[in-house]
Amino acid sequence: MKIKKYNVYVDPGHAWCKVKFSEIVKLGIQDQITDYSYARGEYLYLEQDCDMSTLVKALEKIGIKPEWIGHHTNKQSKIRSYSRYIVKA
């Protein structure tokens, strides 16, 4: 199984995985991502509880195992100030 690395940003209350929007489209899951995730520029920040699981399942279907690179802060993450993701059908 191929491994692909993803950055995961963690603050005291939550975590998000940074993924290019084009990758989400390529995987065909853009309509499955909730508005609990955030968007900024060409990237989405997938929330840990549901949307990261959606990503993992889609990757596993094509033989890719995600590897997480953690980035932790003791403060509130700036990701919380980004725009909420609007579901793309």
Q: What is the mean pLDDT of residues 64-81?
A: 96
The percentage of residues in the chain with a pLDDT greater than 70, rounded to a whole number, is: 98
Q: Is residue 65 part of a domain?
A: yes
Mean pLDDT of 60-76: 97
DSSP H/E element including 27? helix 21-27
Which residues face 88 on adjacent strands? none
The model's pTM: 0.93
| CATH at residue 78 | 3.30.780
* 56 is a domain residue: yes
Handedness of CA 51, 32, 21, 26 (dihedral sign): positive
In b/e form, how buried is each residue of 51-63, taking b as 16+ CB within 10 angstroms? bbebbbebbeeee
Q: Give the domain range for residue 8.
A: 2-84
Asked whether residue 29 is domain-assigned, the answer is yes
- The single residue listed with the structure tokens 């309509």 is 31
Q: What is the mean pLDDT of the segment spanning 28-52?
A: 96
Quote the number of domains for the chain.
Answer: 1
In a domain, 51, yes or no: yes
Query: Residue 89 domain-assigned?
Result: no
Q: Confirm whether 54 is domain-assigned.
A: yes
Residue-level pLDDT at 89: 57
